[in-house]
């Protein structure tokens, strides 16, 4: 038997597992890694696993994009709400809290323009001073509107327009107004009312929703007060015989509801 044959047989016996060599080796095979090393490796294996309750990798992957999208949506929502919660961006003359505001009012048209009366002509130049003539020279009108000269002096006596506006804004405290006038009203009253040359011009400044105090501020005292309407009379300075125009301002709940104009009876103005 050759040496190679003998080694082959030894190998076959060894591979079967019952050789003396294997038994001898297994007898010495008793070394083990240290307990410290066991703990280290176990800890590393545990840390490599996802923690209990930790987010799934899918959730971790989408957490940031979803958060950004949510923030973006909330931001857009808040920005879109701003015009409806603040009158800063509202058109002048609109009362944002009013649910009864019509599209015409939103367009800022005057109450008179909303109800164009077929009975009157509105475009002619008329002087408020003629009201006296129409009502009667010797009679005391319910409220006499000042002549131009007097009105000029009266204007001098008035406090600055800004003070009146500020006063109106304080109206809630002082009781002069039921609620603050919109900015457009302030502007109309403050800048235009006393510069208007006739009732025709002034009547155009009346807006739906004006309070009685604001109408009085704008037009002065009416020549007559009815239950639901105030009556103002306009006459032509140039032609005292002209019939003039009667303006009737209707109120609902203390606010201007509509305005109508009709030709006044000849030389027979409404009695106070």
Partner 1 sequence: MDTGTADEQLMLRYQQGEHRAFELLYTRHKGALYRYFLRHCGSAAAAEELFQDVWVNLIRSRERYQVRAKFTTYLYRMAHNRLVDHYRRHSRNPGVSFDDHSNPTIENFAAPDREQPEQRLVHNRTIDKLKQLIAALPPAQREAFLLREEGGLSLDEIAEVTDVGREAAKSRLRYAVARLRKGLVETG
Is 21 an interacting residue with respect to partner 1 (CB under 8 A)? yes
Residue 68 phi/psi, 5° resolution?
Answer: -65, -40
Is 44 an interacting residue with respect to partner 1 (CB under 8 A)? yes
Long-range own/partner contacts, residues 146-153 (CB < 8 A, 24 or more apart)? 151/194
Is 7 an interacting residue with respect to partner 1 (CB under 8 A)? yes
Is 159 an interacting residue with respect to partner 1 (CB under 8 A)? no
Cα separation, 259 vs 218, in Å, equals 14
Is 11 an interacting residue with respect to partner 1 (CB under 8 A)? yes
Footprint on residues 248-267 left by partner 1 (CB under 8 A)? none
Cα separation, 251 vs 55, in Å, equals 66
Cα separation, 267 vs 265, in Å, equals 6
Tokens for 89? 């961006």
Among 31, 99, 149, 174, binds partner 1 (CB under 8 A): 31
Is 39 an interacting residue with respect to partner 1 (CB under 8 A)? no
Is 46 an interacting residue with respect to partner 1 (CB under 8 A)? yes
Residue 24 or 191: the one with the smaller Cβ distance to partner 1 is: 24
Is 121 an interacting residue with respect to partner 1 (CB under 8 A)? no
Which residue is associated with the tokens 């037009």?
219
Cβ(223)–Cβ(232) under 8 Å? yes
Binding site for partner 1 (CB under 8 A): 7-8, 10-11, 14-15, 19-22, 24-29, 31-34, 37-38, 40-42, 44-46, 48-50
């Amino acid at each position: 038997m050759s040496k190679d044959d003998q080694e082959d047989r030894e190998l076959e016996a060894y591979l079967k597992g019952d050789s003396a060599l294997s038994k001898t080796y297994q007898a010495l095979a008793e070394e083990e890694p240290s307990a410290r090393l066991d703990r280290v490796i176990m800890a590393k294996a545990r840390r490599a696993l996802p923690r209990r309750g930790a987010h799934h990798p899918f959730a971790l992957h989408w957490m940031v994009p979803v958060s950004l999208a949510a923030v973006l949506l909330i931001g857009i929502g808040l920005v879109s709400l701003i015009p409806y919660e603040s009158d800063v961006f509202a058109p002048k003359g609109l009362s944002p809290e009013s649910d009864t505001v019509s599209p015409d009012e939103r367009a800022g048209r005057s109450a008179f323009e909303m109800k164009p009366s077929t009975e009157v002509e509105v475009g002619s130049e008329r002087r408020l001073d003629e009201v006296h003539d129409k009502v009667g020279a010797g009679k005391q009108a319910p409220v006499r509107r000042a002549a131009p000269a007097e009105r000029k002096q009266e204007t001098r006596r008035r406090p600055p327009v800004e003070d009146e506006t500020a006063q109106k804004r304080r109206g809630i405290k002082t009781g002069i107004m039921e609620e603050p006038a919109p900015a457009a009203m302030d502007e109309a009253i403050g800048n235009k009312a006393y510069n208007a040359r006739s009732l025709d011009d002034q009547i155009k400044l009346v807006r739906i929703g004006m309070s009685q105090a604001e109408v009085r501020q704008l037009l002065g005292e009416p020549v007559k007060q009815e239950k639901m309407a105030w009556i103002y009379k306009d006459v032509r300075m140039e032609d005292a015989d002209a019939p003039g125009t009667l303006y009737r301002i209707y109120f609902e709940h203390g606010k201007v509801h509509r305005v109508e104009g009709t030709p006044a009876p000849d030389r027979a103005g409404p009695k106070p």
